[in-house]
Structure 1
Amino acid sequence: KKFYFDFGSRQAWGYDGISRVKAYDAGFTYRPIDALELAFHPYYSFSENNLQYVDQFNYGDKTDYVLANIQQSTLVFRFMIDYNISPTFTIQYYGSPFISTGKYSKFKRVDVPNAANYNDRFHEFSSSEISIDANGNYAVDANGDGNADYSFGNPNFNFKEFQSNLVLRWEFTPGSMLFIVWTQNRVHQDGFGTFTFSGDMKQLFETYPRDVLMFKLTYRIFN
């Protein structure tokens, strides 16, 4: 067969609506001629966790364990090319952009961890208890006296990476080969936490790359 296709999905929900996951993946393989194979594998997942650990903070004689809701999106593309130009000359390529974002909200502290009612286990901070200060950090007034008792950085994230490898193999005499390998890596991250396909892809490929070119020569002396 010249064309192959597969698709899979996974969905899960946690007890009391604590978490949920949706994931989808597919695979496309096309072989127009015997010497050439093209493959494309996309993957996407969305997850939400209402009990994401943020940090613990000591103030006075108390310790607050702070949790939050996190919504995370992850997108991965994998491209592969395998081209056998001749028995002695081949080209292989692999490229994969990766994007993962996480957005935090509904910050809360653990109050009664063993309470029978799930909602009684936590205290969700109101707008008068948590705010963003001049440095962009979250400031928490835990005891309600109007002053911040502790603060923490914005945990939102947007991580993007692109990895690629191009390998040329030439067997110039039986048992003797030259390999040329070109690798490229691009990494960009910020704290926005919002997933936008076109914007994230544009930002990723506008990021300055790190390129490495390598050569390897093997020579067979004795037949």
Structure 2
Amino acid sequence: MVRRNSPSPQMGFDLAPAAASVRFLCGVDEAGRGPLAGPVYAAAVVFDPGKPMIRGLADSKILTAKKREELYDKICERALGWHIAFATVEEIDTINILHASMLAMQRAVQGLAEQGITPDLVQVDGNRCPQVPFPVEAVVKGDALVKAISAASILAKVARDRELLVLHDAYPQYGFDAHSGYPTPQHLAALAQFGASPHHRRSFAPVREALARGPVAF
């Protein structure tokens, strides 16, 4: 299922014929909407249409961590261009996680544009499109259907997991290395015991509840 984003007057694009004339397709996806802690990440990837496609690309959620790391390196080496961006915990709490996800995706596409790469079409996983200065459409289950989106999902997931390992070194009591900030029983128990860290999302209910029980422990 594909949903096209209606162009704003500022964008000025007729999206109807876009798919038929695409040479440089930009795939975009995010990682980290559901966790209680850490930034939300996004990546944008454009492959060189003249080179063979990387084998094994798939939705990052069905790949092992080892396989994601292997594909991450291949994507970075062989893509025509790629960029990883994020929105901070503070931005998530200020504008909400949906808008922060859109912001991270905007930044990822902007990073490609700053490299001099102009996509003919941007395809985004899901059913909503960020506002970007190129033709854009949302593709439901795009991370499984579109190789460039699969690649973006892998870059975003690996980058975010690496960031959560850094947070784990600073706050080992939360077990970020095991759950990447998702609301697992282990994580919820740690929140109940230790309170919220500065990297927890205050706008998420389990974190608000932890804060209501007592002051931040840091």
TM-score range, shorter chain: under 0.3
Give the number of the structure with larger relative contact order, counting CA–CA contacts within 8 Å between residues 6 or more apart: 2
Larger Rg over CA atoms:
1
Q: TM-score, normalised by structure 2?
A: 0.24
Higher helix proportion, which one? 2
